[in-house]
Structure formats: C-alpha cells, structure tokens
Structure 1
Amino acid sequence: MRDAPLKIGLLTHSVNPRGGVVHTLELGHALHDAGHDVTVMAPASPGQRFFRPVRCVTRLIPVDAAPRDMVAMVGSRIEAFTASIGALLETARFDVLHTHDPIGGNALANLVDAGRIEGFVRTVHHLEVFDDVQLMRWQSRGFQAARQVFCVSRLWQRMLAEDHGVGACEVRNGLQHGRFSPLRQATDAALARCLGVRTGAPVVLALGGIEARKNTVRLLQAFVLLRARWPEAQLVIAGGASLLDHAAYAREFAALAQASGLAIGPGAAIVRTGALSDEDIPSLYRLADVVAMPSLNEGFGLVTLEALASGVPIVVSRIAPFTEYLGEADAHWADPLHSASIAEALQAALTSRSPARTAAMAASAARLGATFSWAASAARHVQLYREGLHGSAAAAARSIPC
C-alpha cells in the first residue's frame, strides 16, 4: 500500500554534536513520531554513545578511535559500515537507506555494486575541499552513486547541478520547538560559573569549534577590534568535535590570541568549552549577548534559528544560504572576508539592544519557527522517498533540481 509506514535506515558520520548529526537525529525523531520504523546508524569507538537520547532504534557500528591519517580513518569506516550494514541486511529489510555523509554514501555504494541493495538516498549538507585525491574521490562517489540526492539549501542544490550535474531536491531543516527560550533558568548561572563565562561584560558566542570553514581566525581578529570599546568582552567558542583535522588552523588561532595578549581558558578573554552536554546548549545561548556565525561555507546554519529562538541577536555572513531564509532585519550582516566588517556587525548587535529590538527578534523567531519544522521536513522526506521508490529510473536520475 502506497501510504504504509516505511522502514528507514538513517546513516550519520558521528555520535557527536555536529550539524549533520543533529539533522539526522531530529529527522529520525520526526519520522518515528509520524509512524515510520526508523533505525539510526553511526560509528562509535568503545564507550561512545550518541550525545543526546534517541527515541528511535539505534545501531552503533564499532570502529577504532580515529587515527591521525584521514585517508586511513575514512577508509576503515567505510569498510566498517559496509560490513555492518551488509550483516544487518541478512535479517532486516529497509525500504529506504539514507545517508548524510560520504562515509555512509560509499558504504551504501559498495552494497549497490555488490547487488545487496537497489539504491540509496544521500543528503548533501555541504562539500569540503580536500588536498588528498582519494578523499575527493570518496566525497564525489558518496553522492554521485545515490539514487536520490537532497540538499538543505538552494545554494547547494544549485552547486550540485552546476558543478557536478546532479539534480538534488531541497529539504528544509527544522527547529526543535520548545527547546530554546529567552527565559532565564537557574541552570544558566551554574553553567556560567562552570565554564568561566563572566556576567556583565559582552559575551560573543561561536558554535562549531575552531575551523577554517567557520572563519574563526577572522572572528578573533574582529573580537580584538571589539575589545577596543569593550575591554572586558569575552569570546566563547563551543563545540568542535569533528572528524576532520583542524589542528593547524587551531594553532594559527592560538598564535593570534597570544600575539594579541588574549589568554585562553575559563574566565579568560577567550573561553573554549569543547563539546558540551546537550542539556547545556539552551543555557549557553542565553549567556550570550550575540551569536557570531561569519562562516565561509555552510550547509544551512541551524545555529541561527536556535539563537533567535533564544532571544539572542546574530551576526552572519552576507552569503547564501543565510540570505535564503533570513530577512534583512533578522540578523546583523557582515562581509566574512573582512574582520573589520565582522567587528562592525558585532558592535551593531551589542549597541542596538532594546525592547523594540527584542520584540523584533521574537517576531523573527516565530516566523522562522513556523517555516522550519521537523514534522514538515519529515513529511517532505517521505514524499520524496516514495517518489524514489515508485518512480521510474529516469525520474530518479533526473538532472533538473526539484
């Protein structure tokens, strides 16, 4: 029957709090709540678990701790996924296998080549540029071999079509309603004490760790300029649990901080929290006076929706995908290639705080929250899944984005 519940396997690259992992878990929950049978699969080294509780079935694929060599790490995890899902297929049947990263994409492509499955779905959040040829080949195969390709923004939908000849369907992200709020909680002050976040001084919050893609070095340059007016300001950088190697960029960041006379540590000018408990994230937003996301490359930027829902002004790059869904008044806009522009946007966000501005942010959050819902995203996914299952091979391989 066409409308019967689907059995869906969702693959993600990690159990840690990264944007693609959050997307996978939220989509899994929404599909589960809509009555579908969902299994979320991810690699996990000994002792690892998902960073938050998962309501649907999970399958943790045993892997060793990530080695320093990226090619060895990716190759070993592709092999682990291929073997684990291949074994699972001996006793389980899936209507849809849907991966959100190249590791899962290559494993499923291996299973297609072996005749174990007919096809798979891939969501491309964004693409990286690797120096290693093998990594670039795996990245390309991870979506080129898919029966259907989805994107979370029109930017990447267009780039896949123009640069790779791949037709992708846009599927919107969602916002977990009720999780983020501007209303202060007792846990906020406790978290501030634990992390060494000062109260009474402007706090600039950046999520995602120190990465070139996140433009963290230019954000630090902007922060140095900002401290000329607010010498007690703090830059809080949260997260950073990535499989990619950002060590060289982190050293560049640390060298700039040292040259600027800025200490890094709890209570210092710069606070690096690392990965935090999922329960702490709503409080973390409320500790911020502005959330900065001057990224050079993003798939969507869920942080923007979460910050606005928390009543915190945002500074974002004037680039897609931000320009696709944020209105001019929703954010303070910056040229991500110029630290002075980022500093000006941060200053504007801090000096324009007022009851009227707070009300405007609440209106933006309500509008965006109505537009971006995980239930609607799940319904869109199911529609596209069924098209892929019941459509012709030609339709599944169409080159015009939907």
Structure 2
Amino acid sequence: MNKILKIALFTYSTKPRGGVIHTLELGEALQANGHKVCIYALDKDGIGFHRPLNCSSKLIPTKPTTDRKLFLQRKQDYFNGEAKNNGLDPVDEIIKQRIQEFIDYLTQESEKYDIYHSQDCVSSNALKILRDRGMIPCFIRTVHHIDEFNSPYLQECHDRSILEPDLCLCVSKYWQEQLYQQYQVDAPVIINGVDAKKFSSKVNGKEAKLKQQLGINGNPIYLTIGGIEPRKNSLKLLQAFIEVLKTHPQAQLIIAGGETLFDYEPYRLKFFDLAKQNKINIGESLILPGVMRDEDISVLYRCADVFVFPSVKEGWGLVLLEAIASKLPIITSNIPPFTEFLTDKSALLVDPNSSKAIVSAMLSILNKNVAQKLICNNSNIPLQYSWQKSAQMHLKIYSKLLQNSKLLQNKQLSI
C-alpha cells in the first residue's frame, strides 16, 4: 500500500490488559510503516498509558463512577431487588456511561480518518452510533474473544459490537470458528505479536532490585499475569499452589496485573478467604503486585522459574508469548487458542478444571530436564509472531476495505 493512511484505533482503557497491549503495539507498528496513527482510549484516572508511545494518542476523560463501597452496596441492592433508577445493574450503568463518554468526545472531534478500528465492545458500540449518524463512513472491530453475560443490557452491547461493524477481525482460528457458529460473521484472522527485544532472558541488572521491592525470595517462583478473576482461573491456581506448598514450603506465587472494567468482588473474596483459611500470607508465599510499570514487566518474567497460566478463556494469550520469549517453561490450559501454537512438547498442557492436574504440572516442571526440554521446543515460537507482521496483515485488510467502500460509493453515485 503506497498511500499514507490516517488510522484511528480505539481501546477502552489505558491499563495494560491484553487488548490494550495489542492496540498499542499494533498502533506503533503501523506508525513505523509510515502511516499516521492515533490511539483513542478512556482514561479513568488521568494517568494515561503505562508507557510512552511512538504514535499519537488522545485520552478521553471519564467521569468518576460511584466509590467502591457505595458501588458494592448498590450492586447488593440490585441483586436484592431494591435497585432504583432504570433497573440497570451498576456495572451496566458504568458501561453505558463509558460508551456515552466515547460518543461525546468523538462528536466534538474534528480529525477525520481513513480507518476507524475498535478493539473492544465499548468503543465499538460508540462507533456504531457515530456511523449511523453519518459522522464516520464505516468501522472495524477486532474481537479478541466472545463473552457471555447474565445482564441483558451487557449481552445486547456485546452482540451489537460483533454484528454491527462493517468488518470483524479476530486473533485465532478458534474464535474465527466461534464467530461464524454463533453470529454467522466471517472474520479474517490476524496475529498477535511479541517484542523479542523487550522480552528475553538477558538480565539487565534490575532483577535484584525488583526482587527486593516485591519480596521475591523463595524457591521455586511461579508467575502468572492477569489478576484475580474467574476467566484467569485464579481459585483453581491457588488451590494447586496450596498443595505445592506442602512439599515446597519456600515456593512463592506471583499474580501480577488485574485492572478490568468489570467487578469480580465476590470471586476475589472467595480467593482471599481460601488464602486465609490455608494461612497463605499476602506478601510472603503469595505476592500481588497489581498493575506494574511497563519497564518492570519484562524484568518480572526474569525473576520467575515457571509461568503458570491455567486460564479458561483467552483471545490468544499474549502473556504466554512474552513468557516464552523470556525463556520460561510454560504450564497452561489444554484448550484453544493455546493449542493453536503450543503442543505437549512445548508446554505442560493441563485440564484447567482440575486443580490436581495443575498441581501435578507445577511439580513436574521443577525437574530441570523437563523444563529445559520445554524451553528448547518453544524457542522458535516468538519468531513466528511479530507486530510488524501483524501490521502488514492489517494493512492488506484496510486496503481491501477502502477499495470496497470506494466501489460502493461509486455505485451509489451512478444510481
């Protein structure tokens, strides 16, 4: 493609969740290809992205939501049938507010783009409204995975974000199949990537400082990234870790990350109750650093012995690529999309619903021969996934979309 494109990418947050990371890396790779990229993101705390960007960005200020204590009370009132207002779950209200904040900001935006590309349900719903008002010509949505919600409002938003875009993309063959089966949507597959220069086993002298800062002093060190939530299977992982401690009392489990739009408080309470019942002390056996600085993430991988990721649903699993590039042996779920790029020779694949299977893998991988064989067998995986390759795939799709749009306009003019 010779024409320089103006591309707007949209994401629901500035926090380093998988979809946000995908947006930033894609945006920078497209910019490096000579195109003009601007990333629009909701910025709920006014801090901005977790790292500087090599492309333009516009941060959309958000109104404060209810404070946490009142939020939880309102949620309980909702479940008890005592909710007022419009009968929406408080989480519904937040999502509705976030969609409107996108709309309000973009309605005032004078900048026009060739491509409008959403990476999430929230911005997709906003772009749908702007398109229907004739303010943008069309838009694309990348579906990282399909969710299911108990809330009718959230499910409608989710379904609309898949059915309404002029084109949907996805990040794995599994989700491509699911999109067609569930929605009859044909979605081309584009790849994720990993920055092999950033994520590697090469130490840079910052490891000792981070270990001291976080209290990483055990053996072995298990790491997972994604926070405490149902999709990450945190309870099963904790149950497995409790068993590991019986034979390896010096072991530590690090669960980093965790910023999300949704409220998982009941699940988190179960998690912490289980830890308390088994005398698992936070900051000792269990380390919860939360959302970390970008420069610390790659260092954190090098502070661990094993990456364990028994997730029950992922779009792809960017953190797995990062861990593999960092030369860590991998334990993950024996489900797609992981099985699209991992085999039992490159990772210990487990039943995510079985804490016993997770325990067995967490103990087996401590065998140095087992761990080293896994690392050797997955060493070529990062070479297959680069953000530049992903950007090239996107540009071909953008070009085709623009050509089809131009043909449609010409056809309409000739009528």
Q: For 1:393 and 1:27, how far apart are their aligned partners in 2?
A: 25
Q: Is 1:247 aligned to 2:268, yes or no?
A: no
Q: For 1:109 and 1:173, how far apart are their aligned partners in 2?
A: 25
Which of the numbers 268, 288, 300 marks the counterpart of 1:284? Answer: 300
- What are the equivalent positions in structure 2 for 1:180-199 lying under 5 Å apart? 180-199=199-218
1:275-303 CA-to-partner distances (Å, cap 9, x unmatched) read: 11110011111111111110110000011
Pairwise CA distance, 1:5: 1.3
Pairwise CA distance, 1:46: 4.8
**SS of the residue aligned with 2:307?**
strand
**SS of the residue aligned with 2:57?**
strand
Alignment-derived partner of residue 361 in structure 2: 345
Using structure 2 for the length normalisation, give the TM-score. 0.90
1:82-103 CA-to-partner distances (Å, cap 9, x unmatched) read: 1211221xx3221100001111
Q: Is 1:57 aligned to 2:56, yes or no?
A: yes
Q: For 2:348 and 2:381, how far apart are their aligned partners in 1?
A: 16
Q: For 1:344 and 1:359, how far apart are their aligned partners in 2?
A: 17
Pairwise CA distance, 1:45: 2.8
Which of the numbers 109, 112, 116 marks the counterpart of 2:135? Answer: 116
Alignment-derived partner of residue 24 in structure 2: 25
Which of the numbers 358, 362, 373 marks the counterpart of 2:372? Answer: 358
Q: 1:234 corresponds to which letter in structure 2?
A: Q
Alignment-derived partner of residue 400 in structure 1: none
CA contact (8 A) 1:181 1:310 kept: yes
Alignment-derived partner of residue 391 in structure 1: 404
Q: 1:237 corresponds to which letter in structure 2?
A: I
1:149-199 CA-to-partner distances (Å, cap 9, x unmatched) read: 011111111111001111111000001120012123321111011111114
Which of the numbers 292, 311, 327 marks the counterpart of 1:295? Answer: 311
Alignment-derived partner of residue 121 in structure 2: 102
Pairwise CA distance, 1:360: 5.3
Q: For 1:87 and 1:271, how far apart are their aligned partners in 2?
A: 44
CA contact (8 A) 1:46 1:64 kept: no
Q: Is 1:210 aligned to 2:237, yes or no?
A: no
1:119-157 CA-to-partner distances (Å, cap 9, x unmatched) read: 100001112222211011111111211011011111111
Q: For 1:357 and 1:291, how far apart are their aligned partners in 2?
A: 11
Pairwise CA distance, 1:210: 0.3
**SS of the residue aligned with 1:329?**
coil
Which of the numbers 201, 225, 232 marks the counterpart of 2:243? Answer: 225
1:238-295 CA-to-partner distances (Å, cap 9, x unmatched) read: 0011111111111000011111121112xx1111111111100111111111111101
CA contact (8 A) 2:324 2:382 kept: no
Identical positions, percent:
38
Q: For 1:392 and 1:39, how far apart are their aligned partners in 2?
A: 22
How many positions carry a matched residue from both structures? 386
**SS of the residue aligned with 1:340?**
helix
Which of the numbers 248, 256, 262 marks the counterpart of 2:274? Answer: 256
**SS of the residue aligned with 1:126?**
coil
Pairwise CA distance, 1:80: 1.1
Deviates more, 1:180-189 or 1:201-210: 180-189
Alignment-derived partner of residue 368 in structure 1: 381
Q: For 2:206 and 2:136, how far apart are their aligned partners in 1?
A: 48
Q: For 1:236 and 1:112, how far apart are their aligned partners in 2?
A: 44
CA contact (8 A) 1:309 1:362 kept: no
Which of the numbers 333, 352, 367 marks the counterpart of 2:349? Answer: 333
Q: Is 1:314 aligned to 2:330, yes or no?
A: yes
Using structure 1 for the length normalisation, give the TM-score. 0.93
Alignment-derived partner of residue 78 in structure 2: none
**SS of the residue aligned with 1:97?**
strand
Q: For 1:391 and 1:7, how far apart are their aligned partners in 2?
A: 17
Q: Is 1:83 aligned to 2:97, yes or no?
A: no
1:299-336 CA-to-partner distances (Å, cap 9, x unmatched) read: 00011111111111110000000000113211111100
**SS of the residue aligned with 2:50?**
coil
The change in CA–CA distance for 1:316 and 1:340 in structure 2 (over 3 A counts) is: same
CA contact (8 A) 1:238 1:275 kept: yes
Alignment-derived partner of residue 42 in structure 2: 43
Q: For 1:333 and 1:347, how far apart are their aligned partners in 2?
A: 13
Which portions of structure 1, spanning 4 or more consecutive aligned residues, are displaced by more than 4 angstroms?
A: 392-395
CA contact (8 A) 1:5 1:36 kept: yes
Pairwise CA distance, 1:391: 2.2
Alignment-derived partner of residue 413 in structure 2: none
The change in CA–CA distance for 1:137 and 1:393 in structure 2 (over 3 A counts) is: farther
Q: 1:285 corresponds to which letter in structure 2?
A: Y
Deviates more, 1:385-394 or 1:253-262: 385-394
Q: Is 1:93 aligned to 2:112, yes or no?
A: yes
Q: For 1:185 and 1:358, how far apart are their aligned partners in 2?
A: 22
Flag structure 2 segments of 5+ consecutive residues without an equivalent: 72-89, 409-415
